């Protein structure tokens, strides 16, 4: 009898070991170099947390930008070259109009954690957003946010006159509209191509995170940081999962995947929106960049743009994105921004506490037998 039990125990052990050895290793595409927060801590945290949250059944391996860059992310996900990728809806508004809509409200952004959480809840609970991702062959697992954007330029900008004709990289429609409003010329260029474009004189600067000075080596080219608040970049789908990959996972694996992704999203926003900007400012000062406070005329002009753009947002969404109920959707997103302003304040802007609140408020309410299916 003991021999039979021992044999059975050995067989069970070998069976369990076999399952552990067959952990699925996912191909992950941050679409950014190691110096960028989308790589570390966003995807590096996911790699660390995936096996912890899935009992070792899921792991991940990062693909470099030479394999998948941010501009080619949609194709890489659809082809299966990448199974999980960092997809930016504002790069593909024709495919993800309802998700791009919240990014069109960039100038609402004042607190990165608020905007990342509000965007996460909005897209995760928006039926039209979910339908768009499904049609694209992808599943949304959370968003994050930058710090408040500024201008990083090779020319000094203090007044409206200084902006006339200046060529600035734009990461999306709201920033392009602001540039046109103030008399600048926006250029739709992936952030990964900013250094080359600036070095060749194609553009005079960028509307972006001050972290780009370090992440994309713009500190070697830019000479000025113009302290003009231009809202946040929060229309992100940090972990966009190929639909076939998602369907191949068990409900428990999906649940664990989301827990890992949610922790990584909070770490990413803390880094991109708060920690890294502080260090980048130090690096900019050490490199001799000049920080310019623009004249009140330009501050007032930007404030006027924000008011006009928010009033026009519904019309823009209907004409450009074909969203018939845009006004109601914009109102809902603004309500979520207000909701998360209170929750983030209550959490003391602590990323771990915020991750726990997002998990409870959004992801614990998801049915993983149905979500993304």
Residue pLDDT, tens place only, 184-238: 999 999 888 999 999 999 999 999 999 999 989 999 999 999 999 999 999 999 9
Q: What whole-number distance in Å separates Cα of residue 59 and Cα of residue 237?
A: 20
Sign of CA dihedral 171, 26, 83, 363: negative
How far lies 65's CA from each of 30, 76, 196, in Å?
8, 11, 15
pLDDT at 228: 96
User: How is domain 23-145+234-281+334-365 classified at the architecture level of CATH?
Assistant: 3-Layer(aba) Sandwich (3.40)
Alpha carbons within 13 angstroms on the beta-carbon side of residue 295 total 9
Q: Do 23-145+234-281+334-365 and 150-231+286-308 show the same overall fold? A: yes
Alpha carbons within 13 angstroms on the beta-carbon side of residue 248 total 12
Say whether domain 150-231+286-308 belongs to CATH 3.40.190.10: yes
pLDDT at 9: 42
pLDDT at 162: 97
Give the torsion through C-alpha atoms of 65, 115, 269, 121, to 10 deg.
-80
pLDDT at 143: 98
The candidate with the shortest Cα–Cα distance to 118, out of 352, 330, 369, 371, is: 330
Q: What whole-number distance in Å separates Cα of residue 61 and Cα of residue 242?
A: 15
Q: Is the pLDDT of residue 18 over 60?
A: no
Q: What whole-number distance in Å separates Cα of residue 130 and Cα of residue 200?
A: 40
Mean pLDDT of 5-23: 47
Mean pLDDT of 11-40: 75
Mean pLDDT of 73-97: 95
Domain extents for the chain?
23-145+234-281+334-365, 150-231+286-308
* pLDDT, tens digit (0-9, with 9 covering 90-100), for 106-148: 999 999 999 999 999 999 999 999 999 999 999 999 999 999 9
Q: What is the pTM of this model?
A: 0.86
- pLDDT band for position 282 (50/70/90)? very high
Q: What is the mean pLDDT of the chain?
A: 92
Percent of the chain's residues with pLDDT above 70: 94
């Amino acid at each position: 009898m003991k021999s039979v039990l021992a044999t059975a125990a050995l067989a069970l052990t070998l069976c369990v070991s076999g399952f552990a050895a067959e952990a699925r290793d996912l191909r992950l595409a941050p679409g950014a170099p190691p110096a960028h927060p989308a790589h570390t801590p966003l995807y590096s945290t996911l790699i660390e947390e995936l096996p912890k949250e899935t009992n070792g059944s899921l792991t991940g391996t990062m693909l470099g930008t030479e394999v998948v860059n941010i501009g080619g992310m949609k194709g890489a996900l659809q082809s299966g070259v990448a199974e999980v990728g960092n997809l930016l809806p504002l790069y593909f508004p024709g495919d993800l109009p309802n998700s791009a809509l919240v990014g069109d409200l960039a100038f609402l952004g004042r607190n990165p954690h608020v905007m990342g959480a509000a965007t996460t809840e909005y897209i995760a609970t928006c039926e039209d957003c979910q339908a768009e991702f499904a049609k694209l062959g992808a599943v949304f697992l959370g968003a994050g946010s930058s710090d408040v954007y500024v201008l990083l330029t090779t020319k000094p900008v203090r007044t409206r006159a200084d902006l006339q004709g200046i060529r600035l990289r734009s990461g999306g429609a709201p920033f392009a509209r602001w540039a046109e409003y103030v008399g600048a010329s926006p250029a739709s260029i992936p952030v990964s191509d900013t250094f080359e474009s600036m070095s060749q004189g194609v553009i005079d600067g960028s509307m972006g995170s001050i972290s780009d000075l370090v992440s994309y080596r713009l500190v070697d080219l830019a000479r000025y940081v113009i302290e003009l608040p231009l809202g946040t970049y929060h229309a992100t789908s940090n972990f966009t999962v190929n639909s076939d990959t998602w369907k191949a996972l068990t409900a428990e694996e999906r649940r664990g995947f989301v827990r890992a992704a949610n922790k990584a999203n909070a770490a990413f926003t803390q880094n991109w929106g708060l920690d890294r900007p502080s260090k980048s400012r130090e690096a900019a000062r050490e490199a001799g960049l000049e920080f310019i406070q623009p004249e009140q005329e330009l501050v007032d002009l930007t404030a006027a743009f924000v008011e006009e753009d928010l009033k026009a947002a519904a019309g823009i969404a209907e004409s450009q994105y074909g969203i018939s109920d845009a006004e109601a959707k914009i109102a809902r997103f603004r309500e979520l921004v207000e909701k998360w302003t209170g929750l983030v304040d209550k959490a003391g802007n602590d990323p771990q506490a915020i991750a726990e609140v997002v998990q409870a408020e959004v992801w614990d309410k998801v049915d993983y037998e149905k979500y993304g299916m």
